[in-house]
């Protein structure tokens, strides 16, 4: 049996996120837990650190309708991702317009996009008036289901607790 978060070839699952106010981090933790891996803050990584990845999940909030500059820089610096399956996720106040940008950057590197997930996140740009209480427990449940679906599509086993 191969390890949790690895496929039959030993290729790893990585959950990499950026989160200015903590909402996307919550979703990243739910997704990573469902997959049996640790979520990784993009601030702690260099673009070259993704060697051996087989399933890459990338998450970000949306700021001025764009992903964070830090995530864009990270994705632009990634090595060739041909053969890698990728999925994007994110939180938003009004609309998840960061997701097409993230997908575009991953596609440019050769990754195959297999899915996306978004839910609202309390918006501190509006002083917390918009999307209060999000992501909710229900949002996180949907995020876990999304993670399981991505693992299934990419041929990765799930930890027993997520089956
Ligand atoms: C500086 C700033 C700019 C934002 N701009 C947008 C925006 O253009 N469109 C939108 O839908 N939400 C916007 N939001 C809301 C955030 O995308 C939303 O709260 C998201 O959950 C933040 O993710 P994070 O907590 O992981 O940083 C903005 C929030 C902040 C703090």
- Please say if the pLDDT value at position 1 is more than 70: no
Average pLDDT of the residues in 86-92: 98
pTM, two decimal places: 0.96
For residue 24, tell me if it sits in a domain. yes
The token pair at 132 is 């209060």
Ligand 1 closest atom vs CA 20: 27
Q: Specify the long-range contacts of residues 123-130, CB closer than 8 Å, at least 24 apart.
A: 123/93, 123/94, 124/21, 125/63, 125/93, 126/93, 130/93, 130/94
In the reported structure, the alpha carbon of residue 26 is separated from the centroid of ligand 1 by a whole-number distance in angstroms of 14
Ligand 1 probe mutation, 15, 17, 18, 20, most atoms within 8 A of CB: 20
Number of domains the chain contains: 1
pLDDT tens digit string along 37-80?
Answer: 999 999 999 888 898 899 999 999 999 999 999 999 999 999 99
In the reported structure, the alpha carbon of residue 93 is separated from the centroid of ligand 1 by a whole-number distance in angstroms of 5
Indicate if ligand 1 lies below 6 Å from the C-beta of 123: yes
Look up the CATH number of the domain holding residue 17. Answer: 3.40.50.360
Residue that has been written with the tokens 């950026």 in this structure: 18
Average pLDDT of the residues in 144-154: 96
Q: Specify the long-range contacts of residues 100-107, CB closer than 8 Å, at least 24 apart.
A: 101/66, 101/67, 101/72, 102/58, 102/60, 102/67, 102/71, 102/75, 105/72, 105/75, 105/76, 106/56, 106/58, 106/75, 106/81
Indicate if ligand 1 lies below 6 Å from the C-beta of 68: no
For residue 159, tell me if it sits in a domain. no
Instruction: Please give the pLDDT value at position 57.
Output: 98
For residue 3, tell me if it sits in a domain. no
Instruction: Please give the pLDDT value at position 56.
Output: 98
For residue 161, tell me if it sits in a domain. no
For residue 112, tell me if it sits in a domain. yes
CB within 8 A of 68, min separation 6: which ones? Answer: 18, 20, 60, 61
Longest dimension (CA), the chain: 49
Average pLDDT of the residues in 87-93: 98
């Amino acid at each position: 049996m191969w390890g949790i978060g690895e496929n039959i070839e030993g290729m790893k699952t990585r959950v990499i996120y950026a989160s200015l106010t903590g909402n996307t981090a919550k979703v990243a933790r739910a997704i990573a837990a469902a997959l049996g891996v640790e979520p990784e803050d993009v601030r702690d990584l260099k673009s070259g650190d993704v060697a051996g990845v087989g399933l890459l999940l990338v998450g970000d909030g949306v700021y001025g309708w764009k992903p964070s500059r830090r995530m864009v820089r990270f994705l632009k610096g990634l090595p060739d991702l041909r053969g890698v399956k990728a999925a994007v996720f994110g939180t938003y106040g009004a609309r998840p317009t960061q997701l097409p940008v993230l997908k575009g950057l991953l596609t440019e590197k050769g990754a195959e996009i297999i899915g996306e997930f978004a839910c609202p996140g309390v918006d501190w740009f509006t002083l917390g008036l918009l999307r209060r209480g999000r992501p909710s427990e229900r949002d996180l449940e949907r995020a876990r289901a999304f993670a399981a679906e991505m693992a299934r599509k990419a041929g990765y086993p799930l930890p027993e607790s997520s089956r």
